[in-house]
Structure 1
Amino acid sequence: MTLPDSPRWPRRIAAMLYEALLLVAILFFATFLFVILLGSATEPPARYILQGYLWLVAGGYLVWSWRHGGQTLAMQTWRIRVTNREGGALDWRQACLRYVIASVFFGVGFLWALFDREGLYLHDRLTGCRLQLEPSKRPAK
């Protein structure tokens, strides 16, 4: 049983696909800057530094978005907001922890939601967060 104002699966998947496209563009640009400034990153240790840098760039984008309005661009498009259990804004600790746990457990956290009694992702269950469906802003006819 999912929470009543929780987004349904088709909306969640569409938002994730859109988010992936946005992240690819952000990470492509970040890699371009890295290579311009530091040169090739095909050999260790430069490759490992680049990987860590990209993880931090992605985290910076997501955490900042979750802290400032609870939505990334993809979440705004699909009217999804991440909130704490009470429906308020995430604090820095929650947002950072949510990103780290989602990164560590990657796909497992999303599969968890299929079996969770409230439909929460693992990283949301562990950090006290949840996804909320935003009401439509279209004017009534």
Structure 2
Amino acid sequence: MTIALDTPGLWRRMACWVYEGILLFAVAFFATWLFSTLGQVRSGIDPRRPLLSLFLFVVLGVYFVWFWAHGQTLAMKTWNIRVVGRDGKKITQLRALGRYVLSWVWFLPPLLAVSPFHLSGGEIVVICLGWFAVWAILSRFHPQQQFWHDAWAGTRLITSAPLSR
């Protein structure tokens, strides 16, 4: 059986990306509530804030690694997108972990660039959205139109109906 390795269009991948963000809001909200409840956090100004960031990084990592190792996140099922290895086969948890770490290139460069300047929230949003657009458009220069973090991780996104159980 041959798997068609058609790359989803950029607009569909970005729509999936936005939808994933909406779903992750719920995951992050629940994880933050759990951390705050179990850690008895009573104030937004808490010395354990870096621990919360680390906890969220791990929770989101578990979410993505588990779903990607099974082929699709919930948003990817909705948009008929699947992550596979370069060979078109399912990826391992280790490769999914590598993809997760490399996918932070969507966020870290703009956040590191704005951190020394104490910009307002609106300015940070504009800079981040600009970077997201640049990073997404750079996929047009990849031979298979893949995002560069996928190329680096040895993965690719393909068009695929939701996988059955």
TM-score range relative to shorter protein: 0.7 to 0.9
Deviation at 1:11, TM superposition (A): 1.0
**Structure 2 counterpart of 1:11:** 12
Q: In the alignment, residue 38 of structure 1 is paired with which amino acid? A: G
Q: In the alignment, residue 65 of structure 1 is paired with which amino acid? A: F
Contact 2:69 2:91 in 1 (8 A): yes
**Structure 1 counterpart of 2:98:** 97
- CA–CA distance in structure 2, aligned partners of residues 62 and 136 of structure 1: 16
Unaligned runs of 5+ in 2: 108-131
Secondary structure class of the residue paired with 2:7: coil
Q: Residue 48 of structure 2 is aligned with which of 46, 52, 63?
A: 46
Matched, 1:127 2:128: no
Deviation at 1:109, TM superposition (A): 5.2
CA pair 83-49 structure 1, distance change in 2 beyond 3 A: same
Spell out structure 1 runs of 4+ moving beyond 4 A.
none
Contact 2:72 2:82 in 1 (8 A): yes
**Structure 1 counterpart of 2:62:** 60
- CA–CA distance in structure 2, aligned partners of residues 99 and 110 of structure 1: 17
Deviation at 1:91, TM superposition (A): 1.0
Instruction: Count matched residues.
Output: 134
Deviation at 1:83, TM superposition (A): 0.1
Contact 1:83 1:129 in 2 (8 A): yes
- CA–CA distance in structure 2, aligned partners of residues 77 and 126 of structure 1: 25
Q: State the Cα deviation string for residues 43-73 of structure 1 (Å, max 9, x = none).
A: 45310000010011111101100012x1000
Q: In the alignment, residue 29 of structure 1 is paired with which amino acid? A: F
**Structure 1 counterpart of 2:139:** 113
CA RMSD of aligned residues (A): 2.2
Unaligned runs of 5+ in 1: none
- 1:16-35 paired onto structure 2 within 5 Å: 16-35=17-36
Secondary structure class of the residue paired with 1:81: strand
CA pair 136-88 structure 1, distance change in 2 beyond 3 A: closer
- CA–CA distance in structure 1, aligned partners of residues 148 and 26 of structure 2: 26
Deviation at 1:136, TM superposition (A): 8.4
% identical aligned pairs: 40
Contact 2:84 2:91 in 1 (8 A): yes
- CA–CA distance in structure 1, aligned partners of residues 50 and 84 of structure 2: 33
- CA–CA distance in structure 2, aligned partners of residues 37 and 136 of structure 1: 36
